[in-house]
Chain A
């Protein structure tokens, strides 16, 4: 079974530029998550999708961040415009059963390391 795929693995941009990250979850996984992991900290949930609907985006900075999962499979996370403090690793994860994240393992991708100069 293929794991969660993310691209690109690394991205360097200047502040005020735009950037997009892509995630392809494990086949058949209904729930998809985007996390932000700032250096020295644990991952923080940005947004959770169940199929193509948003379950939780309470910690997503909506003035600059957006995410979509149009066909309920892969997803993109966009930052526009980027700030210096957005430098972090952006992790995508997926889990099998919708609405049962507490007892279903989340599988993580390798992440995209973003550096904003």
Chain B
């Protein structure tokens, strides 16, 4: 079975500073990788995903994540955060031949002015 570890449960960061959210996964088979964002009192929204091809994937609001197979990681980064990025971020994996998303424990990002 696959598992996902998000090493940081909370990340406080000042506005316009960079942020990196760490995600490591464990799986014996190929996986697809996802980052979801959950804004306060809202449902989960897909931020970006890695299925194949370029290991660097980007979202429309400035986030990017890089798939590193050798390190089994899929860290999320943004070079300059906004107050509106305050949310909880979840890394998730699914087996390439499977149908069940496995989520990490989440990282709460608090952007301070």
Contacts and interface: CB of A to CB of B under 8 A. Distances in A.
B105 A55 contact: no
A103 B51 contact: yes
A102 B97 contact: yes
Contacts, number: 59
Nearest to B91: A42
18 contacts: A3-B43, A40-B9, A40-B106, A42-B4, A43-B90, A43-B101, A44-B103, A45-B101, A91-B44, A101-B94, A101-B101, A102-B96, A103-B32, A103-B51, A105-B49, A108-B45, A110-B43, A111-B43
Interface of A: 3-4, 40-45, 48, 55-56, 91, 93, 99-103, 105-106, 108-111
B57 to A, nearest CB: 14
Q: Is the interface of A mostly helix, strand, loop or mixed?
A: loop
A51 B41 CA distance: 28
- Per CB-CB distance, the 7 closest pairs between chain A and chain B, nearest first, are A42-B103, A108-B43, A101-B99, A108-B44, A110-B43, A102-B94, A43-B103
